[in-house]
Structure 1
Amino acid sequence: MITKDKSQALFEEAQNYIPGGVNSPVRAFKAVGGNPLFIKSAKGAYMYDVDGNAYVDLINSWGPMIFGHADDAVLEAVQKAIPASLSFGAPGASEVEIAALITDLFPSIEKVRMVNSGTEATMSAIRLARGYTGREKMIKFEGCYHGHGDSFLIAAGSGAITMGEPNSPGVTVGTAKDTLTAPYNNLEAVKTLVAANKNEVAAIILEPVAGNMGCVLPHEGYLQGLREICDQEGILLIVDEVMTGFRLAAGGAQEVFDVRADITTLGKIIGGGMPVGAYGGKREIMDYVSPQGPVYQAGTLSGNPISMAAGLAQLNKLKADKDLYNRLAEKTERIEAGIKKNLKELGLNYTTNRIGSMFTLFFTDQHVTNFEEAKACDLTLFGKFFNTMLEEGVYLPPSQFESWFISDALGDKEIDQIISASYKALKNLS
């Protein structure tokens, strides 16, 4: 039985000073019931809360801790960089090194601009696409999350060719009119939108593997179909690899599915856990970015030397470890197989999605291929499952609509614990 006294006290105090007591909404546990845990430290496969409880971590800071927490190589690089100052506000050699490494690993990226978050990367990518094409509209997909930029907080309209509506106060109707929304994995809906907005669409942006409606994979040929539409219509394809970049392969989902973006957004892993993001693409497109081109984007902390040191250490380790992605896939497959075995033994018909080291258990008997199907999940059951897993020492994303992220730090002991905990959690639902 875990104790939560110190976490509870901190949460009560935090609500006096921080909206909702948290600095990011999903941390609030509103989707699963109860109050959030406050984490004191993390190492390898585990996180430790302020009450001294240990948890096998299946969030891994939403993806970047691919080697596990506090990786020695990353920590050493950060410790070496710190004495030289925490920020320059001027160019540093490490920015050039990491840019060269990213362009080497991602064939679609010929030039790259470092920023400070995935949200900043996607906002900048959309502005660049509009500036480069001279068009104003964009197409996004239901259930794909690209950060909290105004253009992305748009709900689908009432029909395939209608404009979206703001789904957050503070987003203007004027912004919404330039954002068109289609169901994920539906090429025909995209074709309809493009035809109804001929020569007005600057970009199509999507997660190549969705991680924010749970882990949802693209249909065979779907990404290639989007690429073909973009080529035919002069539209830029923006592939948001903030989650999938360097997690599914050294060349991201684009390597896995053999498709190339015009602009790619990156984050999370390229900072080794430090705040960082990036956007990059074809040379002629990226040359539209200031100071070389007319599209303005800037940031005092962009290319921060500490973040660059952490990112270089992590990316170099990823590049050198030729078996990493096979190991991650094998570990994730074992977890999925164990959970499926538990489901069968308990007579439960819930479904799973997995690719590489991304995985989701959906509380529905239908295969999930888009956001509407994901929304059919039983969220009450997920909340019960989540809280039992927590009691059993396994920390899941506190939302049905988030992918699990597996780290290489998981060993046989941790995998067995996850599978055993899932049996108890699933049994507890009946």
Structure 2
Amino acid sequence: MAGIGLSLPLKFTHGPTFSSSIPRSSSSRCYSSSVKMTVSVDETKKTFTLQKSEEAFNAAKELMPGGVNSPVRAFRSVGGQPIVIDSVKGSHMWDIDGNEYIDYVGSWGPAIIGHADDEVLAALAETMKKGTSFGAPCLLENILAQMVISAVPSIEMVRFVNSGTEACMGVLRLARAFTCKMKVIKFEGCYHGHADPFLVKAGSGVATLGLPDSPGVPKSATIDTLTSPYNDITAVENLFNTHKGEIAAVILEPVVGNAGFITPKPEFLNFLQKITKENDTLLIFDEVMTGFRLAYGGAQEYFGITPDLTTLGKIIGGGLPVGAYGGRQEIMEMVAPAGPMYQAGTLSGNPLAMTAGIHTLKRLQEPGTYDYLDKVTRQLIEGILDAGKAAGHEICGGHISGMFGFFFTDGPVYNFEDAKKSDTGKFARFYRGMLEEGVYLAPSQFEAGFTGLKHTQEDIQRTIDAAEKVFKNL
């Protein structure tokens, strides 16, 4: 994405057919904006207000650190009053003040078939009758495991966990156990959860809060974490030369979503595969965001690069708390109880997450799914970029399938340093303006956006119209 406008051919082997009731929308680019908190959504709607959200948030600050349970929700980087959500359905969400929004966050990606899908909810209701957690094996684990293994090229065996962070913790321990090496290369701006070894130049929420790293992380936890700029082949070569025979793994987001939307240069992933093989190092794709979103088989299917190990996130649980890591059988058999590397979880593979995941992945297999996501997302991002440029703003961006992003800079954006050249103040103003126009984007310049199968053509056009209006007032 960001600035390089990659348009690689998609090889779709899965996807669904759609009735006229299923939404359309998609596009790519960069922009900025600033608006007042009391602008009306339009002439037919009530005045935009966040009074109830403000009251709830003020109360929450006495109960939870910063009033939230995950930092970006506090709107620190965009300013103004955070919204408190009451309900979601399809491509829309409603806050406790009654404001309605077109949602491009989708619970940070997993709501790919739409929020509160009727079939998923019905299946969950039936499953709940049998219990919500067993702490013991259930048959649903076998079913979802087989679906994941069949879909993702690198995965021959899989271990379910409860979050993307936990998946990345497990896969790092596994890589070190399998290779008997300790060092790992990660890329600046790539976020792999909040485990100690990964909180080095981690982008995302850390960047949003202006914290280069996190207090409380001991040097001993990060001493073996090596960092490189994303898309920088020479820097990676230098790390391998300096630490010959010591590097257990290279881990990356194959398309960055936690420093804004940044795509790999055409040669970058091929280079990583080659250099890791030459050095008996494992290549790990963190597909918590890209898995089942760029293609049914994730970024590795889309780009035709098969890593050694892969992490997955909430999309495989239909948005319920779940994660997974998997890879070649010989590597995965190091995991307890098959092997000596310990990792466990009472709620891992719980029946509710397995049920939601099974029904979500079934829907994603329907013909036309990824063609539709690509179509609407292209329309969306191109519309936003065109509107921003027409209004005289520096903006760039892009998309792949149902994932998109834009930056308030001319670009190109190849890495986190490029992304940080964005006008974050203008993004904050644009964000507030779009919110008051009924469009909910990720509340940070350094986060990707997501479309889903329930985004309609009307959703896309309303969003572009709103962007045109807000750009003119920036």
8 Å CA contact 2:389, 2:395 repeated in 1: no
Q: Distance in 1 between matches of 2:392 and 2:322?
A: 44
8 Å CA contact 1:166, 1:173 repeated in 2: no
1:86-129 Cα shifts (integer Å, max 9, x gaps): 10000000001100110001121000000000000001000000
Q: 1:326: which partner in 2?
A: 371
- Calculate percent identity across the aligned residue pairs: 52
Greater length-normalized contact order (CA 8 Å, ≥ 6 residues apart): 2
TM-score (norm 2): 0.87
Q: Distance in 1 between matches of 2:70 and 2:218?
A: 22
8 Å CA contact 2:90, 2:116 repeated in 1: yes
Q: 1:337: which partner in 2?
A: 382
SS in 2 for 1:285: helix
Q: Which of 66, 81, 103 is the aligned partner of 1:35?
A: 81
Equivalent positions of 1:82-231 (< 5 A) are 82-155=128-201, 167-231=213-277
Q: 2:359: which partner in 1?
A: 313
Equivalent positions of 1:389-408 (< 5 A) are 389-408=434-453
Please state how far the C-alpha of 1:172 moved relative to its aligned partner: 0.8
Q: Distance in 1 between matches of 2:392 and 2:451?
A: 26
Q: Distance in 1 between matches of 2:403 and 2:265?
A: 16
Q: How many pairs align?
A: 420
1:318-373 Cα shifts (integer Å, max 9, x gaps): 12x12010001100111122123213322323111211111112100121110000
**Paired amino acid for 1:327:** Y
TM-score (norm 1): 0.96
1:259-303 Cα shifts (integer Å, max 9, x gaps): 011110001210001000000000000000000101000000000
Q: Distance in 2 between matches of 1:288 and 1:235?
A: 16
Please state how far the C-alpha of 1:154 moved relative to its aligned partner: 1.2
Unaligned stretches of 5+ residues in structure 1? 157-164
**Paired amino acid for 1:129:** A
Q: Distance in 1 between matches of 2:185 and 2:389?
A: 40
Is 1:251 aligned to residue 285 of structure 2? Answer: no
Q: 1:412: which partner in 2?
A: 457
8 Å CA contact 2:189, 2:201 repeated in 1: no
**Paired amino acid for 2:293:** R
Is 1:277 aligned to residue 323 of structure 2? Answer: yes
SS in 1 for 2:144: helix
Q: 1:161: which partner in 2?
A: none
SS in 1 for 2:129: helix
**Paired amino acid for 1:376:** K
Equivalent positions of 1:325-404 (< 5 A) are 325-404=370-449
Unaligned stretches of 5+ residues in structure 2? 1-39, 41-47, 203-210
Please state how far the C-alpha of 1:166 moved relative to its aligned partner: 7.8
Is 1:21 aligned to residue 67 of structure 2? Answer: yes
8 Å CA contact 2:411, 2:418 repeated in 1: yes
8 Å CA contact 2:388, 2:467 repeated in 1: no
SS in 2 for 1:154: coil
CA spacing shift, 1:166–1:379, aligned 2, 3 Å: closer
Which of structure 1's runs of 4+ aligned residues deviate more than 2 A?
A: none
Q: Distance in 2 between matches of 1:314 and 1:408?
A: 11
Q: Distance in 1 between matches of 2:393 and 2:71?
A: 31
Q: 1:57: which partner in 2?
A: 103
Q: Distance in 2 between matches of 1:166 and 1:350?
A: 25
Q: Distance in 2 between matches of 1:143 and 1:335?
A: 25
**Paired amino acid for 1:351:** C
